[in-house]
Structure formats: C-alpha cells, structure tokens
Chains A and B, each alone.
Chain A
Amino acid sequence: MSILTWTYIMVGITFSIYIVIAWRSRVATTAGFYVAGKGVPAIFNGMATAADWMSAASFISMAGLISFLGYTGSMYLMGWTGGYVLLALLLAPYLRKFGKFTVPDFVGDRYYSDTARVVALICAIFVSLTYVCGQMRGVGIVFSRFLEVQVHVGVIIGMAIVFIYAGLGGMKGITWTQVAQYCVLIVAYLIPAVAISVHLTGWPIPQIGYGAAISAVGPEQGKYLLDVLDVVNKDLGFAAYTSAFAAGQKSMLDVFMITFALMVGTAGLPHVIIRFYTVPNVKSARISAGYALFFIALLYTTAPAVAVFARYNMIDTLNDKPYKQAPSWFLNWQTTGLMAWVDKNGDGIIQYRPGDPFVGPPKFKEADGKIEHGKFGEPLVTNKLTDNQNELYVDRDIMVLANPEIAGLPNWVVGLVAAGGLAAALSTAAGLLLVIGSSIAHDLYYRMINPQASEALQLTIGRIMIFVAICVAGYFGVHPPAFVAQVVAFAFGLAASSFFPIIIMGVFWKRTTREGAIAGMIVGIVFTAAYIIHVKFMGAGFWFLGISAEGIGTVGMIFNFVVCYIVSLLTPPPPQDVQDMVESIRYPRGAEAAKAVH
C-alpha cells in the first residue's frame, strides 16, 4: 500500500480512538470539566501532562533544530525538562493542597485581591492563546504534508476534533485522550529512531547509540559517531558538533539565560500547572510530576540522538555526491519545498556548506503549472542566490519527517509518524483551549461577575468559551500573523516573569503582600515584554548584556522577585486568614477539605 493510504489508515484509526474516549468520558459537573473530578491516577496524569506539554514543535521540529545547533541545542533539552523539577519541588504539591481550579484562582485568593486575579487572568489567556495559534498551524501543516489537503481544510478538521473532546469532556475528556495521544506519539517517535540506531551503530537504544562507534560498513566504520561528526562539521566549515561557545555560536551567558528562562517559563505555564489540580492528593501531585518528566524525557533524550543520526546520514548521503545519484527520499521531499538544490558552480555535485543557499524558503520556477527542471533534473528555484558556496536547502522539520524513509522503513511507519505529529499538536491545543475556556468561564464569569451561577450555566459558558477560543485559534492557524514564530519567546518570557515568582513567594514567604505581588508581576511583565518588542519587532540589538529575547524572561523574573520582596516589606502584612491559608497548604493532610469548598 502507498504512503498516502497508510497515512489515512493511521490517522483514521487514532482519531476514532480519541472520539470514542471523549464520548465515554463526557462530564456533567464543573469539577469534572475543569479538573477531571480530581480523580486521575498519577501515572496517567503523567502521560497526559507529557502529551499536553510536547507540542508539534517538540515532535517535528526539535530534533532538526538541535541537529543544526549541535551543543547549543542542549539549551532546549535542559530548559524544557528542568522546569519539571521546579514544579515537583516548589509548586505542584502546594497548588494541589490549595485545591481550586485555576492559576488565577490561587493568585486571587492568596493575594486577597481581584486586581491580582485579573492581571493573572490576562497573562494566562495571552500566554495560552499565543501558544495555541502555533498548534493549530502545526495541525494544518501535518495534514497538508501527509494527507495532501489544503492547510485550511486541515485546520478545520483539527478544530472539529478538538472541540468534540474538549467541549464534551472538558478536562476529563482531554486527559484520557491525551493518554492515548502520548502512546501514539512516543511509539511513532521511537520506531524510526531505534531502527536508525541499529542500522548505524548496532545499538537498539538510540540514547547510547549516538555516542557509540559506527558499525555500518564504510570508511568510517569503527570510529565514534560524534567524533566523525565533529570532523565532518569542521571540514565543511561549521563549528564542531560537540563544541561550545565557538565563533558563530551563542555565548555562555546567553545559553545560561535561555536555559533558565525556558525552565522557569515551563514551571509557570498555566496549562502545565493546571494538570496538577487533577490528581487525588498531594502525594500524587509530586509523583505525577515525576512520571510526566519520565515520559517527556523518553522523547527528549531520543531527540538529540535523532539529531546526530539525521545530520550524519544527510551529509553522508548527499554532500559531494552527484545529484543524479541522490537517494529517492531526497528527490521525493523536494516537491514539498522542504529541500532544494541549486547548482551554483555547475558541476552537478551537491555541495553542503554553512549559510543559506538562497534567500528565504524555496519558490520553484513554474511554467504552465509545471515545475521547470534544470539540466541534472533538479527543480529550479526563483529565489535570489547568496554568494556563499552552499547549494543545499534543508528545512529542519525534514530531520524527523523523512526519518522513516532515510532508514528504509516500511510505509506504515510513515503513516504512524503523521499520526504522531497530529497527536502532539492536538493534545497540546486541547490543553491550552481548556485553560482559556476555564479562565473566562470560571475566573472571570463565576468568580467576578456572577458567583450565583448554577453548575449547568457554568458548564455551558465553559463550552461556549472553548468554542470561541477554537475559532480564534483556527483563524490564526489559517492566517498566521507574521509574528507567530516570534511570539513564542513571549509565552515563555511572560510565564517566567509573571507567574513563577509570585507563586513561589506566595507559598514560601507568608509576608508577601498583595501590593508586592501586583507590583512584581507588572514590573516583570513590562520589562520582559518591552525588551522582546524592542528587539524582535523594532530591530534593536541584544542590548542587555547580549541576552537574546528568548532568555530575557530570566532577568524579568529576577526583577519580579526583587520588586515583590521590597514592596512587601514596605506594605502592611497580609490578613491573618490569608497567612493561615498559606500555613495550611504546607502540610499535605486535609487536601479533601479544600475540595469541599466548591
């Protein structure tokens, strides 16, 4: 059977599973809708959190990104896993003991202030909406690449599926579908990685394989894979793969700051935090952070191996080889615009060197609706050429998408990778949409506008809000604003500089006051947002110690802590009942009592 048939089968089967699960876990109470009735066992909450967390970008783009960055790519690996240690040790148990539904709930109650609640609410919605637009775009792209439909058709199908299970089952529906989606995406990621590892090094564990000696027959046989890659990189003019802070790479301070901002941002993301409200007790909140990180680490430790294998394979099979002898996967993927070759020196041989071969993504030269080909049979591009020697255009997504074909795996594996990419995008989108829906229906409508609202009315409003959020996300998925890629820095920067410090202060220092928290949040956000806008949209250089926009959240966070501390000391201490509440969340016993309030 063809790749397309297999893709339809795999996507069809997995979508049917999600819908069946959604139907079986539909809910009729607000506790079920917002926090899955607080009855999710820790191991499944861990899987759901992992699926919630790992987006289309983790699944499709991360390995490719690392493969171009080498050592520097580690900042994503450490940054996007280290936050869970902070969650498990500093946040999850206490927020679970506090026992409400959302992050603004905690901020509003702990800081006895509706102003603080509103600031938290706006941050939560902004961060989640930013993120979800990217996910819907990811859904559309996977659909269009693998199922050969238009991007907007893909987005609409994705919107419908997400609405079915987020709208019907709320958090409960989302959680159980995410468990299934985790299984799909991890299997889809591991199969090609294991196959390539065995082929190249003889090790069935990719995490070990990429540091082992090459066993495949050839001139490099017996040498360590990473050593070979270092030499190859240097010969072609790149920095050695494992080297750090070399010319053209990020500085030590920048890597440090970005890693920290990603860690703290992860721990401050509302759709991650909210997951720890769904477990039955404090102990499960701690354990499920551990399970979540274990399941995430399965993919995150495989990704750098995939990155190394893919880079080695790509250079080995393409560089300095005549175009006419290029492998078939290379020829296939050129039609998608993810790879292209321009013969700058007219020798018919592919030269891969540092720099972009031409300006922007490839635009193929067409006449009468057909792509024109050059004298070696390559599709011609109309882009303006650059003056370096590089002739090869490689989109980073290719490193995961073409993996099964590079490894010579059967067509059903390609179908599975497509289903995995969709699972990653849909699961993240659903979690984010729930945060938006519950923030508006619970924090804004129920807590601030109409506290008398009945369960049924709250549920209806929650569903309507999810529907509205899906439509907004879908619109931006089809018509992505030019700044989509740039706003991701925003999501992490804002989460790091707003929520994280004031939640930590709220738990660990009773004396933190309402004024301190609000001042801290505002200073943190304003500084971070201003720097990102100045650098990303107004084209300023990295003027603050050379830190990039992705890392500035760390500085915003420090400002938030300092301002919050000083202002708290200068203002009257919090009321006694708030101090008693802070005291009580420090001890696990009695988590059920908090639940009875609602």
Chain B
Amino acid sequence: MDQSKLTEYWHKNLTYVVILLCIWGLVSYVLGIIFVKPLNAISIGGFPLGFWFANQGSEVIFVILIFVYVGLMSRLDRKYDVQE
C-alpha cells in the first residue's frame, strides 16, 4: 500500500483519539472537578449533577468512549485495508 494512504489512516486515527480524549477530559476534569460547585446547584433525581459526574457519570462515559473508539477503528482498519 502506498505511503500517503497510510499517513492518511494515521491522521484519521489521531483525530479520533484527540476528540475522544477531549470528551474524556470534559466529563472528568471539567464537569467532575472544575465546575463541580456550580453544577451541584442542579439536581437530577436525587443526584447533584457535579457530584454525579465525578461519582458515576465519568466512569460510565469512559466505558462508552473505549467501545466507540473500537467501533471507529474497526471501520477505519477495513476502509484502509490494514486490518489483521
């Protein structure tokens, strides 16, 4: 396979990684730590929102992020024919 295709594959991979890591940082560090106090003013059910992001939300979203990455990369691997 020619090098430019491979470079394109690698750059798409990096784009996915950067986007997903932004979400990773957003739910844990931004919503769960930096803005926890203002978010705690909002309640969902009995959970103050900031507290929920730190206590439960981040963990659940982390799991989803990994499976989204797996899905995106499987598609990308096939498209660029680099799969095993």
Stretch of A252-260, A327-335, A422-430, A454-462 with 4 or more beta carbons under 8 angstroms from chain B: A252-260
Contacts of A238 in B (CB 8 A): none
Docked-complex contact A286 and B46, CB < 8 angstroms: no
Docked-complex contact B66 and A85, CB < 8 angstroms: yes
Counting CB contacts under 8 A, is A531 at the interface?
A: no
B14–chain A nearest beta-carbon distance, Å: 8
Docked-complex contact A82 and B70, CB < 8 angstroms: no
Contacts of A224 in B (CB 8 A): 45-46
Q: In whole angstroms, how far apart are the Cα atoms of A586 and B56 in the complex?
A: 33
Q: In whole angstroms, how far apart are the Cα atoms of A157 and B84 in the complex?
A: 44
Counting CB contacts under 8 A, is A88 at the interface?
A: yes
Stretch of A5-13, A71-79, A386-394 with 4 or more beta carbons under 8 angstroms from chain B: A71-79
Which residues in window 33-47 of B have CB below 8 A to A? Answer: 33-34, 36-37, 40, 44-47
Stretch of A105-113, A354-362, A371-379, A587-595 with 4 or more beta carbons under 8 angstroms from chain B: A587-595
Contacts of B40 in A (CB 8 A): 242-244
Docked-complex contact B46 and A81, CB < 8 angstroms: no
A290–chain B nearest beta-carbon distance, Å: 4
Which residues in window 230-268 of A have CB below 8 A to B? Answer: 242-245, 252, 255-256, 259-260
Counting CB contacts under 8 A, is A405 at the interface?
A: no
Q: In whole angstroms, how far apart are the Cα atoms of A406 and B34 in the complex?
A: 36
Docked-complex contact B48 and A290, CB < 8 angstroms: no
Total cross-chain contacts (CB, 8 A): 132
Docked-complex contact A84 and B66, CB < 8 angstroms: yes
By beta carbon, the residue of chain A nearest B16 is A89
Stretch of A55-63, A120-128, A129-137, A296-304 with 4 or more beta carbons under 8 angstroms from chain B: A296-304
Docked-complex contact A74 and B69, CB < 8 angstroms: no
Docked-complex contact B29 and A88, CB < 8 angstroms: no
A120–chain B nearest beta-carbon distance, Å: 24
Docked-complex contact B83 and A589, CB < 8 angstroms: yes
Stretch of A24-32, A206-214, A407-415 with 4 or more beta carbons under 8 angstroms from chain B: A206-214
Contacts of A225 in B (CB 8 A): 46
Docked-complex contact B74 and A283, CB < 8 angstroms: yes
Known contacts being A71-B36, A283-B77, is A304 close to B70, with CB within 8 Å? no
By beta carbon, the residue of chain A nearest B28 is A78
By beta carbon, the residue of chain A nearest B46 is A224
Q: Give the interface SS of chain B, mostly helix, strand, loop or mixed.
A: helix
Contacts of A207 in B (CB 8 A): 56
Docked-complex contact A589 and B84, CB < 8 angstroms: yes
Q: In whole angstroms, how far apart are the Cα atoms of A545 and B63 in the complex?
A: 32
Q: In whole angstroms, how far apart are the Cα atoms of A301 and B54 in the complex?
A: 11
A227–chain B nearest beta-carbon distance, Å: 6
Known contacts being A586-B10, A588-B84, is A297 close to B60, with CB within 8 Å? yes
Q: Within the complex, which residue of A81, A90, A243, A304 is in contact with B62, where a contact is CB–CB below 8 Å?
A: A81
Contacts of A15 in B (CB 8 A): none
Counting CB contacts under 8 A, is A475 at the interface?
A: no
A-side interface residues, number (CB < 8 Å): 50
Docked-complex contact B46 and A211, CB < 8 angstroms: yes
A84–chain B nearest beta-carbon distance, Å: 7
Docked-complex contact A89 and B59, CB < 8 angstroms: no
Contacts of B9 in A (CB 8 A): 587
Contacts of A294 in B (CB 8 A): 63
Counting CB contacts under 8 A, is A289 at the interface?
A: yes
Docked-complex contact A85 and B62, CB < 8 angstroms: yes
Docked-complex contact A77 and B48, CB < 8 angstroms: no
Q: Within the complex, which residue of B50, B55, B73 is in contact with A77, where a contact is CB–CB below 8 Å?
A: B55
Known contacts being A81-B58, A226-B47, A297-B60, is A290 close to B29, with CB within 8 Å? no
Contacts of B54 in A (CB 8 A): 71, 74, 77-78
A218–chain B nearest beta-carbon distance, Å: 17
Counting CB contacts under 8 A, is A417 at the interface?
A: no
A301–chain B nearest beta-carbon distance, Å: 5
Contacts of A283 in B (CB 8 A): 70, 73-74, 77, 83-84
Which residues in window 7-29 of B have CB below 8 A to A? Answer: 9-10, 13, 17, 20-21, 24, 28-29
Contacts of B82 in A (CB 8 A): 587-589
Contacts of B77 in A (CB 8 A): 283, 588
Q: In whole angstroms, how far apart are the Cα atoms of A88 and B36 in the complex?
A: 27
Docked-complex contact B74 and A290, CB < 8 angstroms: no
A404–chain B nearest beta-carbon distance, Å: 23
Q: In whole angstroms, how far apart are the Cα atoms of A293 and B59 in the complex?
A: 9
Contacts of B32 in A (CB 8 A): 74, 78
Known: A71-B51, A90-B17, A591-B84. 10 other contacts (CB 8 A): A77-B55, A81-B58, A82-B24, A85-B66, A93-B73, A244-B40, A244-B50, A244-B51, A297-B62, A586-B6
**Which residues of B line the A interface, CB within 8 A?**
6, 9-10, 13, 17, 20-21, 24, 28-29, 32-34, 36-37, 40, 44-48, 50-52, 54-56, 58-60, 62-63, 65-67, 69-70, 73-74, 77, 81-84
Give 15 pairs: A residue, B residue, CB < 8 Å, sorted on A. Answer: A74-B54, A74-B55, A85-B65, A211-B44, A213-B46, A244-B36, A245-B37, A252-B33, A259-B29, A260-B29, A283-B77, A286-B73, A290-B66, A290-B70, A587-B82
